[in-house]
Structure 1
Amino acid sequence: MTELNVLNNKFESKEKIKVNLEFTPDAINVPVVHQVVKAILAGRRQGTAKTKVKSEVSGGGKKPFKQKGTGNARQGSTRSPLMPGGGTVFGPVPRSYEQKVNKKVMIGALRSVIVDKQLAGKLIIVDALTSTGKTKEMAKLLGSKNLLNALVVTTDSNSLAIRATNNLKTAKGLGVDNLSVYEAVKYENLIIEKQAFEKLANKLV
């Protein structure tokens, strides 16, 4: 059981909460985080690269030149991979780059990132993020605490705080259900609402 500070909307200390997570260096599993981040990025690849094989290129109905007497190697079709404009051998074809990651591995990676952020002093739990949806206000609030490079996680995925944050170049807003290991690693600070953190912590135990 660990006690964590909870801040108010102005990032001032308000209360403490207890969570069933151990925030120790031993709880950080770097290889698992690396594996999950690689899998997430691989899944985002389009996989649409395609080259034409011999049967798909145009031409080829006629023998390009006679069999003997030219001094060239014999050829039977202009579609041959040996001919300019011919088909490609063993070229890329559309495919999925998705990598399977077990649920326990994904949870372990997210737990490692949360622990690492807390130990580095980069985990900020806020009671509630109230916002009018104005980017200027959010930039002023985060800038005053030197938190402009941050991932803002809210309980509600339609929160105005998300809309205000997503217009910032160095920050991003997400609902807790859409939180991914990659996004958590990408941004320096993790700002998360109290209810969202409690929901997340229950999954990580």
Structure 2
Amino acid sequence: MLKVNSYSARGTKLSSVTLPKTFEEKENLALLAQAIRVYEDRQHPGLAKAKTRAEVLRTKKKLYKQKGTGGARHGSRSAPIFVGGGVAHGPRGVKRVLELPLALKRKALAVAVSLKVKEGQVVSADGLGSLKKTKEANKLIEKVLAETKTKKVTLVLSEGNLGAKKIFRNFKEVRILPYKDINAYDIFFGGAIVFDKEIFVAKKAKKETKK
């Protein structure tokens, strides 16, 4: 059972909150590393491309005559062994795509959250939708940074409170993400993680509806 501290939108400490069981996962650093590698690879555009000997613009004239020089026989000046020639086995501008199954992505996310909870870097915030001014939100951010001893905050918002993004966007140390878009990379490297309490309320209501 994962319990985290909870705060009001204005930084007042409230009773602790229990995270959903979907975030409870055994430590699996190999899976977490794999998820991070896949994420980083997919962020890379993969546009690097080197010209081959057929693509470089060089004279078609033979380098020097075939016989009588005492040197090795050479033809094209665009051969990879010459300065200004093509590149052999260079990057071709073809983007490779690494994949990770959805089930493993979710498991890696749970591993990242569990690790963050153990480090004391996950909290919950209640009433984010009621904030009207950045000055009010500043108290919450200062409290979280002080309590978690981190230098940045990742604020995870529920669908219903996405409007709070306007309140927090002026904080340079705060990154704002909707709950549906979070992944293991964002959580693991996100500093202090602040979950909107409405996320857990919505998940609980959805679970009860299914029953």
Q: Is the 8 A contact 1:23 1:118 kept in 2?
A: no
| CA 1:13–1:51: 2 relative to 1, 3 Å | same
Deviations 1:145-170 (CA, angstroms, capped at 9, x unpaired): 42552110101388343344344333
Quote the offset at 1:14 in angstroms.
Answer: 4.1
Task: Return the alpha-carbon distance in structure 1 between the equivalents of residues 96 and 161 of structure 2.
Answer: 31
- AA at the equivalent of 2:156: V
In structure 1, runs of 5+ residues without a counterpart are: none
Quote the offset at 1:3 in angstroms.
Answer: 6.0
Q: Is the 8 A contact 2:53 2:86 kept in 1?
A: yes
Deviations 1:45-77 (CA, angstroms, capped at 9, x unpaired): 121111110110112422121111223321111
1:97-176 matched pairs, under 5 angstroms? 97-130=96-129, 131-132=131-132, 134=134, 137-146=136-145, 149-156=152-159, 159-176=162-179
Deviations 1:171-193 (CA, angstroms, capped at 9, x unpaired): 20111111121111112211011
Task: Return the alpha-carbon distance in structure 1 between the equivalents of residues 162 and 26 of structure 2.
Answer: 32
Which stretch shows the higher mean deviation, 33-42 or 108-117?
Answer: 108-117
Tell me, yes or no, if structure 1 residue 193 matches structure 2 residue 196.
yes
Which stretch shows the higher mean deviation, 168-177 or 157-166?
Answer: 157-166
- Partner SS for 1:92: coil
| CA 1:124–1:70: 2 relative to 1, 3 Å | same
Task: Return the alpha-carbon distance in structure 2 between the equivalents of residues 89 and 39 of structure 1.
Answer: 28
1:33 aligned partner:
32
Task: Return the alpha-carbon distance in structure 2 between the equivalents of residues 120 and 112 of structure 1.
Answer: 13
Task: State, as a whole percentage, how many aligned pairs show the same letter.
Answer: 24
Q: Is the 8 A contact 2:4 2:117 kept in 1?
A: no
Quote the offset at 1:91 in angstroms.
Answer: 0.8
- AA at the equivalent of 1:71: G
Task: Return the alpha-carbon distance in structure 1 between the equivalents of residues 157 and 108 of structure 2.
Answer: 20
Count, aligned residues: 201
Divergent runs of 4+, >6 A? 200-203
| Alignment TM-score, normalising by the size of structure 2 | 0.79
| CA 1:100–1:77: 2 relative to 1, 3 Å | same
1:64 aligned partner:
63
Task: Return the alpha-carbon distance in structure 2 between the equivalents of residues 92 and 20 of structure 1.
Answer: 45
In structure 2, runs of 5+ residues without a counterpart are: none
1:182 aligned partner:
185
- AA at the equivalent of 1:150: V
Which stretch shows the higher mean deviation, 187-196 or 32-41?
Answer: 187-196
| Alignment TM-score, normalising by the size of structure 1 | 0.81
Q: Is the 8 A contact 1:5 1:16 kept in 2?
A: yes
- Partner SS for 1:117: helix
1:68-87 matched pairs, under 5 angstroms? 68-87=67-86
RMSD of aligned Cα (Å)? 3.0
| CA 1:28–1:11: 2 relative to 1, 3 Å | farther
Quote the offset at 1:118 in angstroms.
Answer: 2.2
- AA at the equivalent of 1:100: E
Quote the offset at 1:116 in angstroms.
Answer: 2.0
